[in-house]
């Protein structure tokens, strides 16, 4: 906890300090992002038992999950405004999110507590309550998914930021993987559904208690020069006056938008595609039953997390700290190659028989590798975005990526299936990989934030970002 640089009284050169409590703060945010995904996917892993417990059909259970994607659009601008607020923005958004999440989990228990034909789980009231609760969970998504890059800048020194961003971001994916384990573990028959709901409520309440007990908005002294700078005025000058000037400054940054579109679309489509193996894989043979498809989806998600943590560690090293463009190009090319191999091993619009017949171990490997290669790109994309859009808050660039991600998921879920034959959907994910590869090839990653920090390390530097313009 010793200062890395002394500060003078006028603040010409800022003092920076790294605090051990940064890991506790990161843990709390990671738990929040984990829970958001865990609660969002509640009913999908236990669809059959959920249908019997609530007396609904497959379509209703699907909508309980998908309504969260639609809800995410409503909180985009609100998240951008409050996360960007200097000082208390991060704490305000995280506290509001954890309380809303706890409320939603308790709300789902109301029909269980009341019971009866009019207000029980199978009643219109009980089904509507689940819709409301799942809507709330979905609306929280952009808040918690955009927060990790901001928290990593507020609490972590430059050489730890990529890893912190990776952990906070990928815990959201880990929540989905956890849901596929916890749900079937607790729910063996319809009467076990309340046990799962009580467990989720307990986890949500614990998360809320921990965050309310200790979740400071920022450390007493910043861990880096960029964290200690006042970027509000500079961002407004770059993007225009008003609460959302920072958003405009970000979306008009061409280099940022190539990464946001490429990897936002790829991640959004992948999230839905990797949860649809029970529809995609059965044409290959009876060995691809529902249980096997579930485990393949779990393996793909875990590989995504491992890939992100690996690149987080790599880009923490000085030798790779300015290699974002190279790593993104390698990751996008690898993703495209894996997706093409998987697509030609499946029935397509052009042929009802696969172009290449691959054994189960090879198909499983391709599925796992698809998650790993996309995971390798995810934290780098967020960190590259933060670098290029400085002095805009890290949460603003992350929020734009999250918006594009949710929009891509929405289109893939609701627009593509009615218009395009299911045999084309694998070609769509391959096309997304190609799009990301092409866009990142033309991206010029500019390390504006890092250059600003290095400039301030020189003696006599003036601590000001007002002279900066978002490229």
Q: What angle do CA 378, 405, 308 make, to 5 degrees?
A: 15
Contact 160, 315 (CB under 8 A): no
Summarize pLDDT for 215-247 with one digit per residue, the tens: 998 888 888 877 665 554 444 444 444 445 477
Task: Identify the DSSP state of 347.
Answer: -
Buried b / exposed e over 5-35, threshold 16 CB at 10 Å, is eebeeeeebbebbbbeebeebbebbbbbbbb
Q: How far apart are alpha carbons 439 and 335 in whole angstroms?
A: 14
Report helix angle 360-389 to 324-344, nearest 10.
Answer: 150
Q: Look at residue 455 and tell me whether its pLDDT is greater than 50.
A: yes
At residue 469, the pLDDT reads: 46
Tokens of 180: 């596929």
Count of beta carbons in the 10 Å neighbourhood of residue 4: 13
Predicted TM-score (pTM) of the model is 0.83
Q: Give the helix ranges, DSSP H, for 319-359.
A: 324-344
**pLDDT in the model for residue 335:** 94
Q: Of 263, 295, 299, which Cα lies nearest the Cα of 439?
A: 263
Distance CA 21, CA 16 (A): 15
Rounded Cα gap, residues 128 and 111, in angstroms: 10
Task: Write out pLDDT tens, residues 236-280.
Answer: 444 444 445 477 788 889 999 999 999 999 998 888 888 777 777
State how far the Cα of 278 lies from the Cα of 295, in Å rounded to an integer.
Answer: 10
Residues 34, 172 contacting (CB under 8 angstroms): yes
pLDDT per position as a tens digit, 331-385: 999 999 999 999 888 877 677 777 888 888 999 999 999 999 999 999 999 999 9
What is the pLDDT, as a whole number, of residue 470? 42
Average pLDDT for the chain: 83
422: pLDDT strictly greater than 70: no
The helix (H) or strand (E) run that includes residue 271 is: helix 254-273
Question: Which range, of 8-17, 139-148, 409-418, 454-463, averages the lowest pLDDT?
Answer: 8-17
Res 102 pLDDT > 90: yes
């Amino acid at each position: 906890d010793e200062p890395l640089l002394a500060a003078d009284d006028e603040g010409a050169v800022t003092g920076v300090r790294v605090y051990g409590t940064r890991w506790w703060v990161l843990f709390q945010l990671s738990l929040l992002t984990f829970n958001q995904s865990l609660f969002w996917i509640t009913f999908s892993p236990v669809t059959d038992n959920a249908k019997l417990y609530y007396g609904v059909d497959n379509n209703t259970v699907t909508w309980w999950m998908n309504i969260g994607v639609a809800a995410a659009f409503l909180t985009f601008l609100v998240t951008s405004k409050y996360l960007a607020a200097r000082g208390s923005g991060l704490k305000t958004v995280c506290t509001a999110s954890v309380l809303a999440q706890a409320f939603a989990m308790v709300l789902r228990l109301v029909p269980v507590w009341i019971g009866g034909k009019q207000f029980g789980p199978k009643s219109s009231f009980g089904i509507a309550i689940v819709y409301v609760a799942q809507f709330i969970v979905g609306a929280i998504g952009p808040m918690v998914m955009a927060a990790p890059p901001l928290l990593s800048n507020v609490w972590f020194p430059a050489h730890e930021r990529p890893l912190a961003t990776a952990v906070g971001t990928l815990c959201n994916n880990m929540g989905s993987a956890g849901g596929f384990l916890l749900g079937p573990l607790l729910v063996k028959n319809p009467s076990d559904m309340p046990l799962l709901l009580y467990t989720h409520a307990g986890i949500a309440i614990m998360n809320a208690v921990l965050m309310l007990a200790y979740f400071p908005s920022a450390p007493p002294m910043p861990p880096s020069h960029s964290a200690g700078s006042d970027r509000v005025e500079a961002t407004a000058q770059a993007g225009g006056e008003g609460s959302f000037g920072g958003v405009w400054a970000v979306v008009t940054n061409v280099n940022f938008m190539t990464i946001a579109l490429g990897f936002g679309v790829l991640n959004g489509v992948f999230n839905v595609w990797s949860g649809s193996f029970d529809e995609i894989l059965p044409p290959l043979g009876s060995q691809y039953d529902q249980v096997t498809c579930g485990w393949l989806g779990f393996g793909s998600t875990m590989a995504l997390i491992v890939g992100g943590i690996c690149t987080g560690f790599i880009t923490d090293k000085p030798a790779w700290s300015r290699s974002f463009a190279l790593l993104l190009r390698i990751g996008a090319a690898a993703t495209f190659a894996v997706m093409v191999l998987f697509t030609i091993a499946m029935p397509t619009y052009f042929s009802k028989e696969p172009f290449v017949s691959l054994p189960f171990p090879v198909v499983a490997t391709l599925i796992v590798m698809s998650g790993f290669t996309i995971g390798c790109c995810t934290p780098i994309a967020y960190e590259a975005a933060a670098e290029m859009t400085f002095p805009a808050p890290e949460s603003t660039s992350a929020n734009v990526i999250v918006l594009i991600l949710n929009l891509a998921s929405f289109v893939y879920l609701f627009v593509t299936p009615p218009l395009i034959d299911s045999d084309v959907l694998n070609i769509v994910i391959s096309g997304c990989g190609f799009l990301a590869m092409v866009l990142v090839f033309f991206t010029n990653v500019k390390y504006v934030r890092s250059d600003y920090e290095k400039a301030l390390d020189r003696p006599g530097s003036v601590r000001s970002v007002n002279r900066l313009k978002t490229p």
